[in-house]
Structure 1
Amino acid sequence: MTLSASLSSANSSLNVAGERTSVVSRNIANADRAFYTRKSVEVVTTPGSGVRTSGVTRAEDLVLFRKVLASGSSSAMNSALLDSLDLLNATINDVELDSSPAALVNSLANALQSYAAQPHSQLAAEAAVRSARDLASSLNNAAATVQQVRNDADLGVQSSVDRINSLVQQFQGVNSQIVKGTVTGADVTDYMDQRDELLAKLSNEIGIRTLSRADNDMAIYTDSGVTLFDRSPRTVTFQRTPNLTPGTPGNSVFIDGVPVTGANATMPLQSGRIVGLVQARDDISLSYEAQLDEMARVLVTAFAESDQVGGGPDVPGLFTYSGATDVPPDGVLISGLASRLRVNANVDPDAGGLATRLRDGAISDPLNTDYLYNTTGAASYSDRIDELLTKMNTAYAYDPAAKLSASGTLSNFASISVGWLQEGRKVADDSYQYQSTLYNRSFEAFSRTTGVNLDEELSLMLEIERSFQTSSKLISVIDSMYSALLGAI
C-alpha cells in the first residue's frame, strides 16, 4: 500500500469515527427519552482502501411495538371505564354507613315496623317520614351522580376527538419528512422516533393498526378497519350534548363520515379511551340510571293511595314526583324519575305537613276524604302502615332496561343493584390492572430491545476513541515519512 493510499484510509477512518462519535453522543443525550431508539452508523469499505458510512439505522422491534400500542389502547379504555365506575360507586359508599339506596330501603321498612308497633307515636311517625325523605334524597343524589358521570364522559369524548385530530395532523407532518428524507437519503431516524411516539399517544385515544409502505410511508387504520390516515388525515367528528337527556344515549363518533361508536356503528371501535368513555356514558350509566328509576317507580307504586269509596284512580301518596298526575304503570321504565322523586309535602313536617297522615291516609290531598284510610281518627289505627309494609315486601315487575331480575321485591332489587355495580367495578379494575401490567411489561421489553444502554454506549465511545487514536497515529507516522522523503530529495 502506498503512502497516499494509507493516508486516504486513515483520513476516512477519522471521518467515520467522527460520525460514529456524533451518533453515540446523540444516543447518550436521549437515553431517558421515551420511544427514543438506539442509533448506529453503518460502515462499509470503499474500493481500494478506506471506509465510509452508508447511513444511520435505528434499533426496531415491530412485534413488541405493536404489542405496546395494543396494550396501551386497552389500558386507556379500562382506565376511563374504571374512573366512571368509581364515581358511580360513590353512590353506594361504605356499606356500614347505611347511606346507599339499598340500605335506606331497609331503614324505611324498619321505621315503618316501629311505627306500626306504636301508631299513636308522633316521634315514630316523624322518624318514618324522615327515613322516606332520606331514601328519596339518596335516589336524587345517585341520579345526579349518574348524570354527572354521563356529562363528564361526553366531554371526555369531545376532548379525545380533539386530541386525535391534533395528533393525526402532527403525524402527517412527521410522516412527510420521513418520506422526503428517505427519498433523498437523509437521516430520518429521529423523525421515525417522533412518529412512533405520536402513534403511542394516538393509541391511548383510539385503537389503531398501521401499514408500512415504500419509502417508510405509513397508513393508519382503526382497530375496526376504518381509515384514519392515508397520505392525508381523515376527519374525526363528534357533536357533544351539553346536558344529556336521562335514558337517551349520547351522540356517535364519526371518522370520515363513518360511525364508529354507538348502536348504529357499522365498524365499531374495539379499544382506546373513547371506547371506555362511551361505555361509561351509554352502557353502565344508563343501566344504573334505569335501576334507580325503577326503584323510584316502585316506591311511588308501593306507597300509592287508593280510593276507599270506590271508582277513583290510585294516586301518589308518601312518594311523589314533580309533574306527577297518576301512579306509573307496572314494569314500565320512566327515565329520570329517580331525580324527580320526593316525599309529599303534605306528610313532611319540615314542609308544614302532618307525619300522622302516613297512618291515616289522604296524603295526596288532605281535603279529599275518599282517600282517607283512618276514617275514625283512632290513634291506635295501624292497618294502613301494615298494608304499606306488605306492599314493600311484594314482588314487582321491572323493565328489562335495568338489566337485573325481571321481578322481585324492592329490597332485593336494590341489593342486586349494589352487587351489579360493584361487580362491574371489580371486573373493570381487574381488566385495567391486567392491561396496565401488560403495557408496562411490553414497554419495558421494547425499551430493552430498542432503547439506549448507557454502559454499552460508553464502551463503544472508548472503542471509537481508540480507533481515532490509531488513525491519528498512522497519519502522524505517514507525515514523518513524507518529511523524511522530502528531506532526502
Structure 2
Amino acid sequence: MVGITGALNNAVTGLTAASRAAEVVSSNVANAMTEGYARREISLSSDTLGGDGGGVRINGINRMVNETLLQDKRLADAAAADATARTTFYADLENQIGDPTTEGSLSWTISKFEDSLLTAASMPDSSARLSSAVDAARLVTDKLNSVSADLQQTRLEADQSIAKQVNTLNETLGEIELLNRTITTQIAVGRDANGLMDQRQMLVDSISEIVPIKVVQRDNNQIALFTKGGGILLDGHAYEIGFTGAGVMAADMTLAGGQLSGITVNGQAMTVGEGSQFGGGTLGAAFAVRDTLGTEAQAKLDAVARDLISRFESTSVDPTLNPGDAGLFTDGGGPLVVANEAGLAGRISINAIVDPLQGGAAWHMRDGLNAATPGVVSDATLLNAMSSAMTTQSVPASGNFGALQRSMAGLSADLLSFASSSRQSSELTQGYTNARQEALHEMALADGVDTDYEMQNLLVVEKAYAANARVIQTIDALIQQLLEL
C-alpha cells in the first residue's frame, strides 16, 4: 500500500499543479489587453517526502518582467516628454512673433511703421498721414507688449505646472510606499502579491514622464526610487518634495534672484536644469521654460525694444530733444534706463507728446517732440530722419545677437530666426526621442501576453491534467481489486 499511496500523492500534486497552471494561463489571457499587467508563469520543482519522491511542488507564481527594458522605456518616456515641451514652447514663441508676411506680426508692424514714415514725409502737411504714423508706431509697441505678456504668461503656466507635478509626485510616492509595505505583508503570510506589484509598476510608470526614474530593488520585494540625476524620491519611506508657486510672474523674477522657488527634498534644496538632480521629464522641461528658455527669449525681445528706443533718443534724429529726454518710443513714458532692461518689451510705449489718445498732438512727429508750436508744414526733415533711423545699420547693445550690424527690420527678423531655428533643433531632438520611445514601447508590448503561446501552453496543461487524472483512475482500480480479494 505504501507504493500505491505514494503514487496517489504524486498524482494529486500533479493535478494541483496542472490546475494552478491553468489558472495562470486563464489570468494571462484575461489580462492580455490590461495596461501594466505582467505575464505570469508558474514555478515548479520536484518535492520529496521522507527522502523519497513526493510529487511536484508549486514554488510560486512569477511576474515575467524585463527590468532593463522597463528602465530604458521609463527614461525614454521622460526624454520624449521633455523634448515635446521644449518644442511646444518654441513653436508658440514663433507663432507669437508671427510670420513676416502675416498681418499683425512683429516684422509686419515694423514694416508698416517704416512705410507710414515715408508716406508722411511725402506730404508732411497732412494731419491724417501724421496720425497714421503715430498709429503705426503704436502697433509696434503693442506687438512687443503682447509678445512679452505671452512670454510671462507661459512662464507663469510653467510655474503652475511645476506645482501640480510636485503634488502628483508626493501623492504617488505615498501610494508606492504603502504598496511596498502591503506587498511585503502579503508575501509574508503566503499570499499572492503579483496584482499589487502590477499596481506599483503602473504608479512608477505614471511618474516616469515627470522625472526620469531609476528603480532599485530592495529586500522583501520592496523598491527604492531615485531620479536619474541622483535625487532620492523613495527609499524605505517617501521623501517630501517641496515647491512654492509664484502666483504672478514678471520678467525680472528669476530663480537665481530668489523671487522664484526651486525644488526641495525633505527641506534640502536640490538643483534643477540640464544634468541636475531633477533634470529631464516634464518637470525639468517646466523649469527650463520658466528659468531658461523663457528668460532667454524675453532678453532677446527686450533687446529689440531697447534698440528701437535708442534709435529715436538721439538728438541727431530729433534736434529738439535734450540729452536724457525720452524719444518717440519710451520706457513706460520715460527715457531708456539700461540697468532696468528686464521686461522692457512689456513696458515700451509711444511718447504721450505725439499721441492724441494721451492728450498729445501728431504734428510733433513732423516738428519735434519738444517743439512749442507747429513749424513749417512742408518741412519733412524730422520724418526723413526717423525713417533713416529705422534703416540705419547698428550692432544691438544686448540680447546676444552677435556683432553684425542690423537695421530695425533685420533685428526683428533675427528674433524670428532665433525662435524658428530653436524650434527646428528641438523638433529634431523630439523626433529622435519619440522614435526611441516608440521602439521601446513596442519591445515592451512584445514581452507582454502572447495569446497564441498561452493557448499552446494550455494544451500542455490539459494533457498533464488528463495524465494525472488517468493515474488516479488506475490507482483507484488497483485499490478496488485489492478490496475484492
Q: CA deviation at 1:240?
A: 0.7
* Structure-2 residue corresponding to 1:360: 367
Query: Which residue is 2:431 aligned to?
Result: 433
- Which range is displaced more, 137-146 or 181-190? 181-190
Question: How does 1:354-393 map onto structure 2 within 5 Å?
Answer: 354-362=361-369, 371-372=370-371, 377-393=375-391
**Residues 35 and 447, structure 1, Cα contact 8 Å, conserved in 2:** no
Amino acid at match of 2:390: M
- 1:468 equivalenced with 2:478 (yes/no): no
Partner of 1:342: 349
Distance across 1 between alignment mates of 2:321 and 2:26: 93
**Is contact 1:305–1:315 with CA below 8 Å preserved after alignment?**
no
Query: How far apart, CA to CA, are the structure 2 residues paired with 1:317 and 1:108?
Result: 16
Residue 91 of structure 1: which of 83, 96, 105 is its match? 96
Q: Could you say which residue in structure 1 is the equivalent of 2:176?
A: 171
Q: Which amino acid aligns with 1:256?
A: N
Tell me the distance in 2 between the aligned counterparts of 1:408 and 1:251: 38
The worse-fitting range, judged by mean Cα deviation, of 306-315 and 380-389 is: 306-315
Structure 1 residue 326, shift from structure 2 partner: 2.7
- Relative to 1, partners in 2 of residues 1:262 and 1:49: Cα closer, same or farther, differing over 3 Å? closer
Does the alignment pair 1:269 with 2:278? Answer: yes
Instruction: Return the letter of the residue paired with 1:381.
Output: D
Separation (CA, whole Å) in 2 of partners of 1:33 and 1:101: 51
- Given that residues 260 and 266 in structure 1 are in contact (C-alpha distance below 8 angstroms), is that contact kept between their aligned partners in structure 2? no
Contact 1:76/1:273 (<8 A) preserved: yes
- Which residue matches 1:365? none
Contact 1:140 1:340 in 2 (8 A): yes
Deviates more, 1:242-251 or 1:174-183: 174-183
Shift in CA distance, 305/314, structure 1 to aligned 2, threshold 3 Å: farther
Query: Contact conserved, 1:220 with 1:229, CA < 8 A, in 2?
Result: yes
Contact kept? 1:92, 1:418, Cα under 8 Å:
yes
SS in 1 for 2:209: helix
- The offset of 1:169, in angstroms, is 0.7
Q: Structure 1 46/189 Cα, relative in aligned 2: closer, same or farther at 3 Å?
A: same
Equivalent-residue separation in structure 1 for 2:110 and 2:187 (angstroms)? 70
Q: Secondary structure at the match of 2:60?
A: strand
How far apart are the structure 1 equivalents of 2:214 and 2:270?
15
Cα offset, 1:91, TM superposition: 0.8
* Seq. identity, %: 24
Equivalent runs, 1:87-166 vs 2, <5 Å? 87-166=92-171
1:43 equivalent in structure 2: 44
Superposed displacement of residue 217, structure 1? 2.7
Any idea what the Cα deviations from partners look like across 1:8-61, whole Å, max 9, x if unmatched? Answer: 222111111111122112112221122321101011122224212111112122
Q: Which residue of 2 aligns with 1:394?
A: 392
Please point out which of 205, 226, 251 is paired with 2:261: 251
Q: How many residues align?
A: 473
Give the letter aligned to residue 270 of structure 1.
G
- Give the CA deviation at 1:203: 1.6
Deviations 1:450-488 (A, max 9, x none): x111111122223212222232233233323322332x2
Is contact 2:272-2:284 (8 Å) kept?
no
Q: Name the Cα RMSD after superposition.
A: 2.6
Instruction: Quote the Cα distance in structure 1 between the aligned partners of 2:251 and 2:188.
Output: 56
Cα distance per residue 1:296-317 (max 9 Å; x no partner): 2232232337498889434223
2:257 aligned partner = none
Partner SS for 2:229: coil
SS of structure 2 residue aligned to 1:46: strand
- The answer to whether the 8 Å contact 2:272/2:279 transfers is no
From 283, 293, 296, the equivalent of 1:284 is 293
Deviation at 1:97, TM superposition (A): 0.9
How far off its partner does 1:188 sit? 2.9
In structure 2, C-alpha distance between the alignment counterparts of 1:311 and 1:349, rounded to whole Å: 20
Describe the shift of the 1:359–1:268 C-alpha distance in structure 2 as closer, same or farther (beyond 3 A): farther
CA–CA distance in 2 between the matches of 1:149 and 1:58? Answer: 44
In structure 2, relative to structure 1, the CA distance for the partners of 1:321 and 1:476 (3 Å cut) is: same
List runs of 5+ in structure 1 lacking aligned partners. Answer: 363-370
The answer to whether the aligner puts 1:236 opposite 2:246 as a matched pair is no
Q: Which amino acid aligns with 2:232?
A: T
Q: Give me the TM-score of the superposition, normalised by structure 2.
A: 0.89
Letter in 2 for 1:40: E
Deviates more, 1:161-170 or 1:469-478: 469-478
Q: Deviations over 1:416-460 (max 9, x none)?
A: 1111111112222222222122112112112212x1111111222
2:323 to 313, 331, 345: 313
What's the counterpart of residue 458 of structure 1?
455
* Structure 2 residue 401 is the aligned partner of structure 1 residue 404: yes
Query: Is 1:260 the counterpart of 2:270 in the alignment?
Result: yes
**Contact (CA 8 Å) 2:91, 2:419: kept in 1 or not?**
no
Are the equivalent residues in 2 in contact too, given 1:122–1:356 (CA < 8 A)? yes
Give secondary structure in 2 for the equivalent of 1:219.
strand
